[in-house]
Amino acid sequence: MSSYKQVFLSGKVALIPFFVLGDPDEQTCLEIIGAAIDAGADILELGIPFSDPIADGPTIQKADIRALRAGMTPQKALTLISRIEERWDIPIGLLVYYNLVWHFGPEAFYKQAAKAGVNSVLIADLSIDDADEVYPLARSAGLDTVFMVSPNSSDERIRLVAQKTTGFIYAVSVLGVTGARDTLSQSAIDIITRTKRVTTVPVCLGFGISRPEHAAAAAAVGADGVIVGSKLVGLVEQNLSDKGQIVRSVRQLILQFRSAL
Amino acid sequence: MKEKGRFGQYGGFYVPEVLIPALEQLEDAFFRFGLDQGFASELEDLLSHYAGRPTPLYYSRGLSQLVGCTVLLKREDLLHGGAHKINNALGQALLAKYMGKGKLIAETGAGQHGLATATVGALLGMEVKIFMGTTDIGRQRPNVLKMRLLGAEVIPVTGASGTLKDAINEALRYWTANVKDTFYLFGTAAGPHPYPKIVRHFQSVIGREAKCQCLDMFGRLPDVVVACVGGGSNAIGIFGAFMDHPQVRLVGVEAGGLGLDSGMHAATLEKGKVGVLHGARSYVLQDEHGQIIESHSVSAGLDYPGVGPEHSYLKDTGRAEYVSATDEEVLDAFLFMTRREGILPAFESAHAIAWVMSQAGRFEKGQLVLINLSGRGDKDVESFIRQRPQVVGADLKDSEHKGL
């Protein structure tokens, strides 16, 4: 299992696509992920679908509903990850909502996630203030930690996040939920700059990274990676009737991002 | 945050990072203004001269005869807007004003909290957006029209079930993107810290008044205090004053829907498991994988798969007990109250009444049972007639139904 450290030490800006596990179904999801890796993804960020994703905009909400309707569960999601790990050697960040972890049993969840081949677990609705509820579990399972900072986080909070982060800091580019956006906001540039100023922990930018030029702009101000979510997940939604087209369009978009970085 | 916002293991603030600064700011403002004397007297003035406090404590002859003891109703239904929600809406809107935020957003289920927010928005000259599930918009039409009339924008939320849960999700998402100038006026004693404490604070006036009134009228405290529980704001509001009197039995009545074994209910405390929903750890209705399930209730205001964290704590400690009333029992209670007392209770409040009615003969004759009649039922007339058309004449034509 390759590590985040290997990716960040390689010197290139990490391209991190996000997909919802089991969207639109397990088999297609595997094919999409395979195409993304072939086209140059360095790390995968994968979400377990949840009924009430408060940090997500409409595109990912719909993906969650599709995956849930197709029968995805946290247990099946971990099995799907182990299938990905069997085929490809790539670091995987898991994105979940706290209720799923809580219901599974936090200790068991972290252990099984590690066993499946996950490198880190990011809980969207668990802030740094309550990091201690999961930090020891993550470390004893041998996982890295990932926490979020956002444009309205104070420097003091960013420092706290950096102290607890062993993988990378997930910098949210805007005040808002996930979703494709036309332009990269000034707040995205500012949060990267501010975070880089207070820590040497790698910083990856997410939320609204929809175009290759957004990724290039983030890289230019020092981002160590970019997370592309809604734009890719939207391709699933737009091509539901032609699964081959989903895979092709994902591959093409990842190639475009890759060449921009 | 200055505090953890815990009630035992429950509560907390489980939200995305982007909301933390907004909650910190709110907590700070609440500690600074909310407990300040000048703020308190401005609020008190509005509560008495605008909202209509104190509300009466009414001896219900009809219920007393039926049940076999003395039944008292705390008449929150007589407040401006028709429900206890105005207590909290005035308090939080004033807080928003002191914080210099000119825009209010709120979620609503039955429409009572949305209506209260739209009302105070009009009063204080603030822009109001109300998030409401499409299912609820369908069953609470009169309140939707009133909110619009008051100048609020009602934003329909589809989500999974189109009810309160989805409305809260969407309000939280909107707030995330607009935290700088927008105040989220949360309607129930749930959600992330500091909301459960803020809502309890502003609703505690119900219990304080009722306690004094009971002492004045009977020279003693009630034996039983009963309130309906969805998120649980009216219940926490009336329970508070009696919390430190262990001899007073506290009963919260959840929505039993079609029955607790039907899977179609909103009895979170009786049938839920501990989890995290809308920023707090509490009991939650969820499936075997931890996905939140859709609740069901005839009353939109109780149709919520979560519950305020303090209620979870009171359940675990045994200080309060939680029971339920079914949709049918609620319709019976609604009709009984209209025919015997000339009072239309909100479907939500009718749960508390229904449970007391179900206990007929089980209370001792001299006992005092205090029910929080948290809202009035004008909004539910249409829904009641749809389900019991024979009550107003089974030969009503379809066209007349629609005109109701």
Those residues of chain A whose CB sits closer than 8 Å to some CB in chain B are 50-57, 65, 68, 73-75, 97-100, 102-104, 124-130, 147-154, 157, 172, 174-177
Query: Minimal Cα distance from A147: which residue of B?
Result: B17
Q: Does B360 touch chain A (CB under 8 A)?
A: no
Q: Does B338 touch chain A (CB under 8 A)?
A: no
More confident residue, B141 or B252: B252
**CB burial readout A206-220, b (16+ within 10 A) else e:** bbbbbbbebbbbbbe
Residue B394 predicted with pLDDT over 70:
no
Mean pLDDT for the stretch of residues B1-24: 96
Residue B334 predicted with pLDDT over 90:
yes
Describe chain A by its helix, strand, coil percentages, rounded to 5. Answer: 50, 15, 35
pLDDT at B139 (0 to 100): 79
DSSP state of B286: B
> How distant is the Cα of A74 from the closest Cα of chain B, in angstroms?
7
Domain ranges within chain A, ordered by starting residue: 13-260
Mean pLDDT for the stretch of residues A211-227: 97
Residue B330 predicted with pLDDT over 90:
yes
Torsion of CA A72, A77, A82, A83, to 10 degrees: 30
Residue B159 predicted with pLDDT over 90:
no
User: Could you confirm whether B399 is annotated as catalytic?
Assistant: no
Size of interface A-B (CB pairs under 8 A): 110
Q: Which distant-in-sequence residues (6+ apart) come within 8 Å of A227 by Cβ?
A: A16, A17, A18, A45, A170, A204, A205, A206, A207, A209
Q: How confident is the model at residue B161 (pLDDT cuts 50, 70, 90)?
A: confident
Is A118:A143 a contact under the CB 8 Å cutoff? yes
Mean pLDDT for the stretch of residues B129-148: 92
Q: What percent of chain B has pLDDT over 70?
A: 97
pLDDT at B401 (0 to 100): 46
Determine if the pTM surpasses 0.90.
yes
Write out chain A residues lying below 8 Å of B286, CB-based: 99, 103
User: Could you confirm whether B374 is annotated as catalytic?
Assistant: yes
Mean pLDDT for the stretch of residues B302-315: 97
Q: How confident is the model at residue A1 (pLDDT cuts 50, 70, 90)?
A: low
Select from A55, A74, A154 the Cβ nearest to the Cβ of B289.
A74
A 10 A CB-CB count for B196 gives 31
User: Could you confirm whether A125 is annotated as catalytic?
Assistant: no
State whether residue B52 is helix, strand or coil: coil
Write out chain A residues lying below 8 Å of B291, CB-based: 50-51, 68, 100
Mean pLDDT for the stretch of residues B290-311: 94
CB contact (8 A) between residue A129 and residue B275: no
Q: Does B171 touch chain A (CB under 8 A)?
A: no
Predicted confidence (pLDDT) per residue in B72-128, tens digit: 999 999 999 999 999 999 999 999 999 999 999 999 988 999 999 999 999 999 999
Between CA B167 and CA B182 the distance in angstroms is 17
Q: How confident is the model at residue B399 (pLDDT cuts 50, 70, 90)?
A: very low
Is domain A13-260 in CATH 3.40.1160.10, yes or no?
no
Chain B from 291 to 310: CB within 8 A of any A CB: 291-293
Predicted confidence (pLDDT) per residue in A169-187, tens digit: 999 999 999 998 999 999 9
The catalytic residue among A56, A64, A144, A224 is A56
pLDDT at B141 (0 to 100): 86
Residue B40 predicted with pLDDT over 60:
yes
Q: Which distant-in-sequence residues (6+ apart) come within 8 Å of B231 by Cβ?
A: B187, B188, B189, B190, B304, B306, B307, B308
Q: Does B276 touch chain A (CB under 8 A)?
A: yes
pLDDT at B404 (0 to 100): 42
Select from A75, A130, A176 the Cβ nearest to the Cβ of B177.
A176
Mean pLDDT for the stretch of residues B281-294: 97
Q: How confident is the model at residue B395 (pLDDT cuts 50, 70, 90)?
A: low
What would the DSSP string read from start to end of B154-169? EEEE-TTTSSHHHHHH
CB contact (8 A) between residue B14 and residue A57: no
Mean pLDDT, rounded, of chain A: 97
Mean pLDDT for the stretch of residues B337-362: 98
